Amino acid sequence: MIKLIKNLQSHQLVIEKKANSLQGKISIPGDKSISHRALMLGAMALGETTIEGLLLGEDPRSTAHCFEAMGAKISDLNTEKVIVTGIGQERLQEPSSILDAGNSGTTMRLMLGLLASQPDKFFTVTGDDSLRTRPMSRVIQPLQQMGAIIYGRNSNKNAPLAVIGQNLKPIHYHSPIASAQVKSCILLAGLMTEGKTTVTEPALSRDHSERMLRAFGATLEIDVDTHSVTIEGGAKLQGQTVIVPGDISSAAFWLVAGAITPHSELIIENVGINPTRTGILEALQMMDADITIFNQREAAGEPVADLRVKSSKLKACTLEGSIIPRLIDEIPILAVAACFAQGTTVIKDAEELRVKESDRLKVMALELGKMGAKIREFADGLEIIGGNLLNGADLDSFTDHRIAMSLAIAGLNAQGKTIINRAEAASISYPTFVDTLIKISQ
């Protein structure tokens, strides 16, 4: 029923017909955000860091390659145990070649905070075609306020970038957007800066950096009322053991698949349920999805649980405001859920999706529209009239991993054959996605 066809230039995922049911237990890949940060902080810490459950997608590999080029020793990447021998945050070496962040915006943006604060060292950073179009000014501008010297294309907006490390000064940065990448970049620069550096956001963004920096020995103050985080410069990071929970962004595809596919029941094991990331659970609960959270526990400072989802009749909802930063990566798959919900779902305040790996608002409207979805695109969101049958179609991932997987879940519930071109993009964050799709399909 489902097959992956490998051509010379791309892979096609072919879903021959609608799924009758989805059943089984699923182990999802490690959290991408935590995997990046474990590799970075481990590389900058003194001593060894052990990472269990690392995501083996292309993005964390890009982070590992960059920090190996700057002197860290990282064992072969695997999910069981990765050993990172750090060199100390003040001793990153000038690489002999250009640092390549691949498709990973997290790698590039967070790394810039570290590179900018390495006095008298020179770095050049680039990425793939997609990453070189994504806005870097959102981190470059606050770094320049700290005294950073960074040069890039389009008036310092795009990679490739050249960085001349400096002794930076602390600032209090009021971010115009709630972005964990922006916040983390500035905090990492502040780690190397004498004094206190503060970031204030308009809403709460994910806090993996704060949790992990504390675990590695940094001193932070957090004001939840003002959405502010302050880091005190000068701390020496020490190697730690990091257990990476399953990525809730990866779990989201199965949560929606189980909810919209008739006669389905799925259990998703070992999912990170950090409160700054559980917007997807709240949104699906607003839509009346049948989801149970059980076996709650804690691993390395991160809350973890198992999730059970059963098929149910979804209803439309409106998603806007403070919940959006906590489910920004899950909006493509929520758009699929909305196609199967009764009523009109409205998504607002999500203009950030236009500068991801693709313009996700435009692409989801275009591709779901090919399947017969009643969907309208707005400057900052989507309006989706649910309850209409989807038909199989010839679709394109636009080399965006979340688009590829979202369209696959839509295809499982469409009449007729669905073909997703450039489906290999899924491996960026979920290398075993297609294998799991085949395993649970009835």
Catalytic (active-site) positions: 329
DSSP character at residue 252: H
Residues 51, 68: Cα–Cα separation, whole Å? 16
In angstroms, the first-to-last Cα distance of the chain is 9
Residue 415 contacts residue 372 (beta carbons within 8 Å): no
CB-CB neighbours of 33 under 10 Å = 28
Angle at 184 between CA 170 and CA 362, to 5 degrees: 130
Residues 108, 54: Cα–Cα separation, whole Å? 19
Q: Which residue has the tokens 């009109």?
A: 344
Cis peptide before 170 (omega within 30 of 0): no
For 253, list phi and psi in degrees, rounded to 5.
-65, -40
Reading the block at residue 351, the tokens are 């203009």
Residues 204, 208: Cα–Cα separation, whole Å? 12
Burial 406-416 (b: 16+ CB within 10 A, else e): bbbbbbbbbee
Residues 238, 215: Cα–Cα separation, whole Å? 9
CB-CB neighbours of 198 under 10 Å = 19
Residues 127, 62: Cα–Cα separation, whole Å? 9
Reading the block at residue 72, the tokens are 């860290």
- List, in sequence order, the alpha helices (H) in 135-247: 137-145, 153-156, 180-191, 208-216
What is the distance, to the nearest Å, from the Cα of residue 28 to the centroid of all Cα atoms in its chain?
A: 14
